[in-house]
Each structure stands twice: as C-alpha cells, then as structure tokens.
C-alpha cells in the first residue's frame, strides 16, 4: 500500500458536512433573486467554483451579488456545518509524519471560519483567487505542491466528487475518493475510503517525514 508525505483535502463532503448549510444558503439566495432552480440542481454541481456553478445553471446576471449574498448567509449559518467523525484526531496523527493541506472551491472567508470553528490546523490552504483556475484545472493543487516543496509521487488529493478526481488527474497526482461524501454517481477504479479514519493506513512512517 502506497504511503504519502502530503495529504491535500477538499473540504465539503470530506472534512465537513455542509449540506444543511448549503441548503439554507441557497434557499435564501434563491428567494432574494427570484430564482426557480431547486437545491438539488445546485447541489449536483458542487465542487466547481460558485460562479461557474451559477453559469452552468443558466444564471448570467448579478453573479457577483448572488455570490456575495450566498457567502454571507453561509457564514451566518455556520452553526449548521458539522465535522465528520475522527477528522480532528486523524489530522493530528497525519501531521506528525506528513504535511496536510486544503484545496477547496469555497471562498477564503468561509474556509477560515469553518476551519477555525473546529480548531483544525493545516500547513497550507488554497481557495479560489485571481490568477488560479478552479477545478478541474490543477492550478490550486500545483500551487500547494510547489509551496510545500514535494514531489508529485508523494502527494495525494482526497475529494468526494468526480470533479475532484479530474483535478487530481490533471495535476498528475494520486486520488482517494471519500466514499461517504456527496457524489451520487458511481466512480469506478479509484481508491476509496468509507470513513475518514481509513486514511491512517496511507500515512508514512516517522522516518519518512523529511520533505524532498
């Protein structure tokens, strides 16, 4: 079984269960802007940057305003965000011998709020920003790998959506599917974990901590 020195995580559906938060945020946003798109349609596209999702849903106007409104409501309803079992303990164990990072399509403000809420610590975090293309483009992952000075063969991306798999493939690194997450379509021929603590078997030994 392959061991990794850098674990890069998606947030929604991997670290946090944010579905209730998303549903309430979309409900408010939908009402404010007279949108008729059901939450199920929005939810089926998560993983991509928010504005890209809006465009895929056929929303062409007020993209910045809609994005800001959704983000504000999501922050206000952060109490609806739950952390998956064993995440805190497993991250601590991985951090003793490896590096842990985040690559997410969630904006920086909400990412910081949710991570702080649960007292999590990461060696690097990449959110959407100008100059970096969002998933499935590999820009954010490549930024993390370069920042932490690892070789691609020692890195793995853990996500729960098909777009996460494409992102890892485009970055030319390994991928592990969080099978407990949000993807509803069958994703074949990939390594899968059914619970977060399954990642422990992929951690390196104490002697393998050194960065390349």
CATH 3.40.50.1000 fits 6-17+83-208, yes or no: yes
User: Buried b vs exposed e over 86-111: b needs ≥16 C-beta within 10 Å?
Assistant: ebbebbeebeebbbbbbbbbbbeebb
d(CA 54, CA 185): 21
d(CA 46, CA 32): 21
Contact 111, 11 (CB under 8 A): yes
Q: What is the pLDDT of residues 51-89, one digit of tens each?
A: 999 999 999 999 999 999 999 999 999 999 999 999 999
Is residue 208 predicted with pLDDT exceeding 70? Answer: no
What single-letter DSSP state applies at residue 10?
Answer: -
If one counts every other C-beta atom within 10 angstroms of the C-beta of residue 171, the result is: 23
pLDDT of residue 212: 39
- The pLDDT mean for the chain works out to 94
Q: What is the pLDDT of residues 121-177, one digit of tens each?
A: 999 999 999 999 999 999 999 999 999 999 999 999 999 999 999 999 999 999 999
Percent of the chain predicted with pLDDT > 70 = 97
If one counts every other C-beta atom within 10 angstroms of the C-beta of residue 119, the result is: 8
| Mean local confidence (pLDDT), 86-115 | 96
Helix (H) or strand (E) holding 174: strand 174-178
**Model confidence, pTM:** 0.91
pLDDT of residue 189: 85
pLDDT of residue 1: 84
């Amino acid at each position: 079984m392959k061991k990794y020195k850098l674990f890069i995580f998606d947030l929604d559906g991997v670290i946090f269960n944010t579905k209730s938060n998303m549903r309430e945020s979309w409900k408010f946003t939908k009402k404010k802007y007279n949108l008729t798109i059901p939450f199920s349609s929005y939810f089926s596209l998560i993983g991509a940057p928010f504005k890209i999702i809006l465009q895929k849903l056929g929303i062409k106007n007020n993209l910045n305003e809609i994005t800001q409104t959704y983000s504000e409501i999501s922050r206000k309803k952060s109490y609806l965000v739950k952390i998956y079992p064993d995440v805190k303990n497993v991250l601590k164990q991985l951090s003793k011998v490896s590096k842990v990072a985040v690559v997410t399509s969630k904006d920086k403000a909400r990412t910081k709020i949710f991570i702080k809420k649960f007292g999590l610590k990461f060696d690097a975090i990449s959110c959407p920003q100008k100059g970096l293309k969002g998933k499935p483009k590999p820009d954010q992952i490549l930024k993390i790998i370069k920042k932490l000075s690892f070789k691609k063969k020692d890195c793995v991306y853990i996500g729960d959506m098909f777009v996460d798999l494409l992102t890892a493939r485009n970055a030319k690194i390994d991928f592990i599917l969080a099978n407990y997450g949000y993807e509803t379509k069958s994703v074949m021929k990939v390594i899968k974990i059914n619970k977060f603590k399954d990642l422990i078997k992929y951690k390196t030994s104490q002697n393998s901590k050194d960065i390349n």
